[in-house]
Structure 1
């Protein structure tokens, strides 16, 4: 167990245990250090390290200086497909420590009702600069029809595909930017938190769809849609109460889990079972080995419909 301080917040956690839940290419777990291929790029040879004592990491082959080094929260934000703030909140909730000094009084906090959160909606004009297309998603097996259906765009300045996230009523909630070189991404500023959203849920509500495949990543959901199967994406391995409530209140009567073939995917699958049991039918589709996720299987020629 290590004591790690991030943004003046002390966390007690086993960094090796936390990171071992994720898949690492060419991993070498040394005493106090993980050496592996970079999670931010497609590569085989190790150029990335994590200090297992304090969580600091570095990437010697980084395309983007923002992903050349950082702390544990920044790395996990990428692995969990969240914003930095959401990941830090998760770490504090799970591993946060409040230090007591001699003479401190321990008081039970008074019960307070949570303030209602203000729903954040973005103007559709936010998407105007991104009305372009790039072959990146087409090369990953996503049809033009589905890209148009989901409002996919392209930022020429950032060289990033843009993926709109919407509230159940179809209003724009956030936009994800996913660079076409490497695997780095970010979200629109001053937008609704991803922890409160589900990718594609607006289509489920508007069309009254009752059977849906649920995936981790947007591109996996887009792969199922390309094959003619309604799908949604959680946007990572975090399953919040807000996400569960969106599914519970939706027209969905049966959900089919298509999680990644790794530790976090298995954990997320179990969380969905527990969170949706008694609300709707929950089934599982197995992504065949050696493929890690739905998109990889789709690109390699697997007919996803045959897995149902």
Structure 2
């Protein structure tokens, strides 16, 4: 299977990036880094034995993020589990062709992911959140109020030095838990949790409060910041909008959806996917994030956020266009 590494990586925003024929050098996406200390091979390099997609982060202190391959990198950039990243690559690039990515990186056991339709999903035990009852100022520094943190049952794991962000199913049961390092940008999900592609963050509050008007964003922190601003919001948890996520939203109480994705190419593609799949099911509005901001969480103060959301324009998408006469 031949993966177009360059095409995959150019959809994301990089800091201080230098692109050559065979590699990308940029600031690390895993750390708060302003120096070009991160390198990805864009094609195989016989001299070093590196495969396309292999990367090295020379400034990383965590051994888990000093080097790796395309699956781990895309899982982080797409904000999903590594199993989901493997499945994405296998779906997009198929099984034929010359292998440019290590075969073991793409070996995927789907037995725990693709469940038979008759098998009910088993939620995680919500009592696992009791272990993370400690607090940490990280989310407060991102502008998220203490009340909203309690509302979403966020916590902190001293052992992992990571904040915990639970993902609840629409019925309020626990689907997954995201762990995010407080000193770095790295994250991972709970073992045995429901795949993020099958969930919408915040949908349980939409049902509990019978929310009719909401904003759709990419990241959980963006959604919690909007709730802090008094604006109901849901997050898809990455740059992909699956049919499962779309169906969950179609069945929800939401009648008006305002879409505020990140200010990059991946965000633009996500917005188009949302408009296409949700057209005809609810009113759709395009929230334009000013170009000086990467995402909605960077916009301060909250009055400015409210103004930008309120000034969203109708998307213009119609699911069933009229045939020409």
Regarding TM over 0.5, the answer is: yes
Give the TM-score taking structure 1 as reference length.
0.89
What 5-or-longer segments of structure 1 have no aligned partner?
1-9, 101-113
Alignment of 1:183-222 (within 5 A): 183-222=185-224
Alpha carbons of structure 1 residues 302 and 96: separation in structure 2 relative to 1, 3 Å: farther
Shift of 1:55: 0.7
4, 8, 33: which one aligns with 2:23: 33
Are the equivalent residues in 1 in contact too, given 2:157–2:163 (CA < 8 A)? yes
Q: Distance in 2 between matches of 1:21 and 1:167?
A: 29
Q: Which residue of 2 is the match for residue 60 of structure 1?
A: 58
Q: Distance in 1 between matches of 2:206 and 2:5?
A: 38
286, 289, 313: which one aligns with 1:287: 289
Are the equivalent residues in 2 in contact too, given 1:208–1:251 (CA < 8 A)? yes
Are the equivalent residues in 2 in contact too, given 1:227–1:303 (CA < 8 A)? no
Shift of 1:207: 1.2
Q: Which residue of 1 is the match for residue 101 of structure 2?
A: none
Shift of 1:97: 2.4
Alpha carbons of structure 1 residues 44 and 302: separation in structure 2 relative to 1, 3 Å: farther
Alpha carbons of structure 1 residues 302 and 33: separation in structure 2 relative to 1, 3 Å: farther
Shift of 1:302: 6.2
270, 273, 293: which one aligns with 1:271: 273
Residue 168 of structure 1: SS of its match in structure 2?
coil
Alignment of 1:95-110 (within 5 A): 95-98=93-96
Q: Which residue of 2 is the match for residue 18 of structure 1?
A: 8
Q: Which residue of 2 is the match for residue 123 of structure 1?
A: 125
Q: Distance in 2 between matches of 1:226 and 1:156?
A: 25
Deviations 1:22-75 (A, max 9, x none): 000000001200000000011111100000001100101113211111111110
Are the equivalent residues in 2 in contact too, given 1:63–1:182 (CA < 8 A)? no
Shift of 1:13: 3.1
Q: Distance in 2 between matches of 1:188 and 1:283?
A: 34
Q: Which residue of 1 is the match for residue 232 of structure 2?
A: 230
RMSD: 1.4
Alpha carbons of structure 1 residues 291 and 171: separation in structure 2 relative to 1, 3 Å: same
Q: Which residue of 2 is the match for residue 243 of structure 1?
A: 245
Q: Distance in 1 between matches of 2:147 and 2:198?
A: 27
Show structure 1 runs of 4+ deviating over 2 A: 97-100, 300-303
Q: Which residue of 1 is the match for residue 306 of structure 2?
A: 305
Q: Distance in 2 between matches of 1:253 and 1:42?
A: 38
Residue 221 of structure 1: SS of its match in structure 2?
helix
Aligned length: 284
Q: Which residue of 2 is the match for residue 87 of structure 1?
A: 85
Are the equivalent residues in 2 in contact too, given 1:178–1:186 (CA < 8 A)? yes
Deviations 1:255-296 (A, max 9, x none): 000110000000000000110011111101111121100111
Residue 89 of structure 2: SS of its match in structure 1?
helix
Residue 13 of structure 1: SS of its match in structure 2?
coil
What 5-or-longer segments of structure 2 have no aligned partner?
44-51, 99-114, 311-325
Q: Distance in 2 between matches of 1:301 and 1:193?
A: 32
Residue 280 of structure 2: SS of its match in structure 1?
coil
Q: Distance in 1 between matches of 2:162 and 2:244?
A: 28
Give the TM-score taking structure 2 as reference length.
0.85
Q: Distance in 2 between matches of 1:118 and 1:35?
A: 45
Are the equivalent residues in 2 in contact too, given 1:120–1:191 (CA < 8 A)? no
Shift of 1:135: 0.5
